Amino acid sequence: MTRRGMLLKLGILLNGAAGLVLAVPIVRYLLSPVLRERKPGYESWLSLGPIAQYPAGQTRLATFQSPNSHPGDGLTADIPCWVRNIDGRKFQVFAINCAHLGCPVRWFPQSGLFLCPCHGGAYYSDGSRASGPPERGLFEYSYKLDRGKLLIDAGEMPTAGAPSANLTNISGGNSPCV
Protein backbone atom coordinates (compact mmCIF):
# COMPACT_ATOMS: atom_id res chain seq x y z
CA MET A 1 0.00 0.00 0.00
CA THR A 2 1.31 3.44 -0.92
CA ARG A 3 1.75 6.23 1.57
CA ARG A 4 -0.94 8.31 -0.15
CA GLY A 5 -3.40 5.41 0.02
CA MET A 6 -2.68 4.98 3.73
CA LEU A 7 -3.19 8.69 4.32
CA LEU A 8 -6.52 8.62 2.45
CA LYS A 9 -7.73 5.68 4.55
CA LEU A 10 -6.58 7.39 7.72
CA GLY A 11 -8.44 10.57 6.66
CA ILE A 12 -11.66 8.66 6.03
CA LEU A 13 -11.27 6.83 9.35
CA LEU A 14 -10.64 10.05 11.28
CA ASN A 15 -13.63 11.82 9.74
CA GLY A 16 -15.82 8.78 10.36
CA ALA A 17 -14.76 8.73 14.00
CA ALA A 18 -15.40 12.47 14.30
CA GLY A 19 -18.84 11.93 12.72
CA LEU A 20 -19.69 9.29 15.31
CA VAL A 21 -18.40 11.41 18.17
CA LEU A 22 -20.60 14.27 16.94
CA ALA A 23 -23.62 12.11 16.07
CA VAL A 24 -24.11 10.70 19.57
CA PRO A 25 -24.57 14.05 21.35
CA ILE A 26 -26.63 15.42 18.42
CA VAL A 27 -29.05 12.49 18.54
CA ARG A 28 -29.25 12.70 22.34
CA TYR A 29 -29.94 16.45 22.04
CA LEU A 30 -32.73 15.80 19.53
CA LEU A 31 -34.24 13.10 21.76
CA SER A 32 -34.15 15.38 24.80
CA PRO A 33 -37.99 15.68 25.03
CA VAL A 34 -38.17 11.89 25.34
CA LEU A 35 -35.10 11.35 27.54
CA ARG A 36 -36.16 14.08 29.99
CA GLU A 37 -39.19 12.00 30.85
CA ARG A 38 -39.80 10.72 34.40
CA LYS A 39 -37.33 13.02 36.05
CA PRO A 40 -38.45 14.46 39.41
CA GLY A 41 -41.11 17.11 38.93
CA TYR A 42 -42.33 15.76 35.60
CA GLU A 43 -45.65 14.79 37.15
CA SER A 44 -46.49 16.84 40.21
CA TRP A 45 -49.27 17.45 42.66
CA LEU A 46 -50.64 20.80 41.58
CA SER A 47 -53.11 22.95 43.48
CA LEU A 48 -56.40 23.93 41.89
CA GLY A 49 -57.14 26.28 44.79
CA PRO A 50 -59.45 26.06 47.81
CA ILE A 51 -62.20 23.45 47.67
CA ALA A 52 -64.70 26.22 48.42
CA GLN A 53 -64.31 27.37 44.79
CA TYR A 54 -66.06 24.22 43.66
CA PRO A 55 -69.64 24.05 44.97
CA ALA A 56 -71.08 20.62 45.60
CA GLY A 57 -73.04 19.17 42.70
CA GLN A 58 -71.45 21.49 40.16
CA THR A 59 -68.77 21.25 37.48
CA ARG A 60 -66.45 24.21 37.06
CA LEU A 61 -63.48 25.16 34.87
CA ALA A 62 -60.14 25.45 36.65
CA THR A 63 -56.62 26.15 35.43
CA PHE A 64 -53.27 25.05 36.72
CA GLN A 65 -49.74 25.91 35.71
CA SER A 66 -47.98 23.03 34.01
CA PRO A 67 -45.05 21.69 36.07
CA ASN A 68 -43.10 21.55 32.81
CA SER A 69 -43.57 25.17 31.79
CA HIS A 70 -40.80 27.61 30.97
CA PRO A 71 -40.59 31.42 31.03
CA GLY A 72 -41.28 31.80 27.29
CA ASP A 73 -44.46 29.76 27.30
CA GLY A 74 -46.83 32.70 27.78
CA LEU A 75 -50.47 31.75 28.07
CA THR A 76 -49.86 28.17 26.99
CA ALA A 77 -48.42 27.30 30.43
CA ASP A 78 -51.87 27.58 32.02
CA ILE A 79 -53.74 24.35 31.37
CA PRO A 80 -57.48 24.22 31.93
CA CYS A 81 -59.42 21.26 33.36
CA TRP A 82 -62.97 20.53 34.53
CA VAL A 83 -63.57 19.98 38.25
CA ARG A 84 -66.72 18.10 39.23
CA ASN A 85 -67.65 18.24 42.89
CA ILE A 86 -69.92 15.23 43.18
CA ASP A 87 -71.23 15.59 46.72
CA GLY A 88 -68.89 17.86 48.64
CA ARG A 89 -66.56 15.00 49.51
CA LYS A 90 -65.88 13.19 46.29
CA PHE A 91 -64.44 14.91 43.22
CA GLN A 92 -63.65 14.16 39.61
CA VAL A 93 -61.13 16.22 37.64
CA PHE A 94 -61.29 15.82 33.87
CA ALA A 95 -58.70 16.83 31.27
CA ILE A 96 -59.94 19.56 28.94
CA ASN A 97 -58.92 17.46 25.93
CA CYS A 98 -61.52 15.39 24.13
CA ALA A 99 -60.51 11.72 24.18
CA HIS A 100 -60.99 11.67 20.39
CA LEU A 101 -58.44 14.18 19.08
CA GLY A 102 -57.75 16.57 21.93
CA CYS A 103 -60.07 19.53 21.22
CA PRO A 104 -61.37 21.46 24.26
CA VAL A 105 -64.66 20.01 25.57
CA ARG A 106 -67.28 22.39 26.98
CA TRP A 107 -69.55 21.65 29.92
CA PHE A 108 -73.29 22.31 29.55
CA PRO A 109 -74.84 22.13 33.04
CA GLN A 110 -78.42 22.35 31.71
CA SER A 111 -78.18 19.11 29.78
CA GLY A 112 -75.41 17.64 31.92
CA LEU A 113 -73.14 16.98 28.95
CA PHE A 114 -69.62 17.75 27.87
CA LEU A 115 -69.68 18.58 24.14
CA CYS A 116 -66.69 18.78 21.82
CA PRO A 117 -66.81 21.49 19.11
CA CYS A 118 -64.51 19.69 16.68
CA HIS A 119 -65.99 16.35 15.68
CA GLY A 120 -69.03 16.25 17.97
CA GLY A 121 -67.97 13.94 20.81
CA ALA A 122 -70.30 14.01 23.85
CA TYR A 123 -69.74 12.82 27.43
CA TYR A 124 -72.00 12.48 30.46
CA SER A 125 -71.38 14.47 33.64
CA ASP A 126 -69.24 11.66 35.10
CA GLY A 127 -66.98 11.78 32.05
CA SER A 128 -68.20 8.54 30.47
CA ARG A 129 -68.73 8.49 26.72
CA ALA A 130 -72.21 9.51 25.56
CA SER A 131 -71.93 9.63 21.77
CA GLY A 132 -69.80 10.63 18.83
CA PRO A 133 -66.35 9.56 17.64
CA PRO A 134 -64.54 9.18 21.02
CA GLU A 135 -63.96 5.52 21.87
CA ARG A 136 -63.68 6.13 25.61
CA GLY A 137 -64.61 8.56 28.38
CA LEU A 138 -62.79 11.78 29.24
CA PHE A 139 -59.27 11.53 30.68
CA GLU A 140 -59.38 11.92 34.46
CA TYR A 141 -56.65 13.23 36.75
CA SER A 142 -55.95 11.61 40.12
CA TYR A 143 -56.77 14.06 42.90
CA LYS A 144 -56.34 14.47 46.63
CA LEU A 145 -57.57 16.95 49.21
CA ASP A 146 -54.94 18.58 51.36
CA ARG A 147 -55.63 21.24 54.01
CA GLY A 148 -58.73 22.50 52.25
CA LYS A 149 -57.12 22.53 48.81
CA LEU A 150 -57.79 20.38 45.78
CA LEU A 151 -54.64 18.89 44.27
CA ILE A 152 -54.29 16.96 41.02
CA ASP A 153 -51.46 14.86 39.68
CA ALA A 154 -50.69 16.29 36.26
CA GLY A 155 -47.80 16.76 33.88
CA GLU A 156 -48.26 15.86 30.26
CA MET A 157 -51.02 16.46 27.75
CA PRO A 158 -53.21 13.33 27.70
CA THR A 159 -53.74 11.78 24.27
CA ALA A 160 -55.79 8.87 23.01
CA GLY A 161 -52.75 6.69 22.42
CA ALA A 162 -50.92 7.74 25.56
CA PRO A 163 -53.16 8.61 28.47
CA SER A 164 -50.68 9.52 31.18
CA ALA A 165 -49.97 6.84 33.79
CA ASN A 166 -51.63 9.00 36.39
CA LEU A 167 -54.90 9.26 34.51
CA THR A 168 -57.78 6.93 35.21
CA ASN A 169 -59.72 5.38 32.39
CA ILE A 170 -63.42 5.94 32.93
CA SER A 171 -65.37 2.92 31.87
CA GLY A 172 -69.10 2.83 31.59
CA GLY A 173 -69.49 2.63 27.83
CA ASN A 174 -72.80 3.81 26.61
CA SER A 175 -74.65 3.86 29.89
CA PRO A 176 -75.70 7.18 31.34
CA CYS A 177 -74.07 8.02 34.61
CA VAL A 178 -75.82 6.45 37.55
Partner 1 sequence: MRLIRNVGAWLDARLQLAAPIRETLQHRVPSRTASWAYVFGSAALTVFGLQLVTGILLALVYTPSAGEAWSSLQILNHQVTLGWFIRALHGWGSNFMLAIVLLHLAEVFLFGAYKFPRELTWVVGILLLLLTLGMAFTGQVLRFDQDAYWGLGIGASISSRIPVLGPWIVKLLLGGPIIAGATLSRFFALHVFVIPGSLILFVGLHLLLVLKLGINDWPMPGRVVRRATYLKEYHELTERDGVPFVPGAVAKDLVFSGAILLALVLCALLFGPFGPGGQPDPAIIQTAPRPDFFFLWLYAVLSLLPPSLETPVLLIGPAIALAVLVGLPFFSGEGEKSWQRRPIAVLAILLVAVSLGTFTHMAIRAPWSPAMDAWSGDPIPPRYLRNHTALERQGAAFFQAKQCRNCHAVGGSGGERGPALDTVAVHLTHDQLVRQVIQGGGNMPAYGKNLSPAETTALVAFLETLYPAGQAPARDASRDAIGANQ
Q: Which residues contact 169 (CB under 8 A, 6 or more apart)?
A: 136, 137, 140, 163
Q: Are strands 59-65 and 78-85 parallel, antiparallel or unpaired?
A: antiparallel
103 binds partner 1 (CB under 8 A): yes
The sign of the CA dihedral 93, 96, 100, 101 is negative
**C-beta atoms surrounding 143 within 10 Å:** 19
Residues 45-74 that bind partner 1 (CB under 8 A): 61, 63, 66, 68-70, 72-74
Residues 17-46 that bind partner 1 (CB under 8 A): 30-31, 33-34, 36-37, 42
Q: Which of 15, 53, 111, 169 binds partner 1 (CB under 8 A)?
A: 111
Binding mask 126-165 for partner 1 (x = CB under 8 A): ----xxxxxx-------------------xxx-xxxx---
CA 140, CA 169: separation in Å to the nearest integer?
A: 7
CA 178, CA 126: separation in Å to the nearest integer?
A: 9
Q: Which positions touch partner 1 (CB under 8 A)? A: 30-31, 33-34, 36-37, 42, 61, 63, 66, 68-70, 72-80, 96-97, 100-106, 108, 110-113, 115, 117-120, 122, 124-125, 130-135, 155-157, 159-162, 174-178
